[in-house]
Amino acid sequence: MPLLDDIGIPLDDAELNRRSFLKLLGSGALAVAALGTAVTSVEYLSPNVLFEDETRFRIRRPEEIAVGTLIALPKQRVYVMRSQEGFIAFSTVCTHLGCMTKYEPENNRIFCPCHGSQYTIEGVVTAGPAPRPLPRFELVVDKGFLVVNTRKAVSQDTILRYSA
């Protein structure tokens, strides 16, 4: 007669059941760990930022901006300037070593505090180590509003022609 465990299963079968149970438990734990790793990897590799929203944004209606006005948008790193001919949009990032420039209305210029580069309010270099003008971005009128796309650089002579 075989030896029984406390619930009446022969000890050999009970040992087998324990082993099966532990194998099943181990396999389940491995499967859960693998699934967790896979989910974490997918989350890590997918972008958390919607670049479209960060690079293309609405400013104001063109008729709301007077000739000679420079609008500084430091968060978006963009200046929008209205001249007699129309509008231009250009970067606030200094072309020397990448510092953020500042608009100084009292001096009617854009100034870089890092090494002293100076630009006109159209982004043209007038002094300092900056090697190039502040790069311009695509600017269009969309549904009645000025819309800048900082992902699209345009040539330095690009102007959105506009006359009120």
Residues that bind ligand FES (CB under 6 A): 94, 96-97, 99, 112, 114-117, 128-130
CB of 37 to ligand FES, least distance (A): 43
The nearer residue to ligand FES, 67 or 100, going by C-beta atoms, is 100
Are the C-beta atoms of residues 100 and 91 closer than 8 Å to each other? Answer: no
**Rounded Cα gap, residues 49 and 47, in angstroms:** 6
CB of 153 to ligand FES, least distance (A): 19
Are the C-beta atoms of residues 112 and 104 closer than 8 Å to each other? Answer: no
The nearer residue to ligand FES, 61 or 115, going by C-beta atoms, is 115
The nearer residue to ligand FES, 129 or 135, going by C-beta atoms, is 129
CB of 164 to ligand FES, least distance (A): 35
Angle at 131 (CA atoms; ends 80, 101), nearest 5 degrees: 40
* Lookup: tokens for 37: 């790793």
Q: What would the DSSP string read from start to end of 30-80?
A: HHHHHHHHHHHHHHHHS-SS-HHHHHEEE---GGGS-TT-EEEETTTTEEE
The nearer residue to ligand FES, 8 or 131, going by C-beta atoms, is 131
CB of 94 to ligand FES, least distance (A): 3
Q: Which H/E stretch holds residue 137?
A: strand 136-142
The nearer residue to ligand FES, 134 or 139, going by C-beta atoms, is 134
CB of 39 to ligand FES, least distance (A): 42
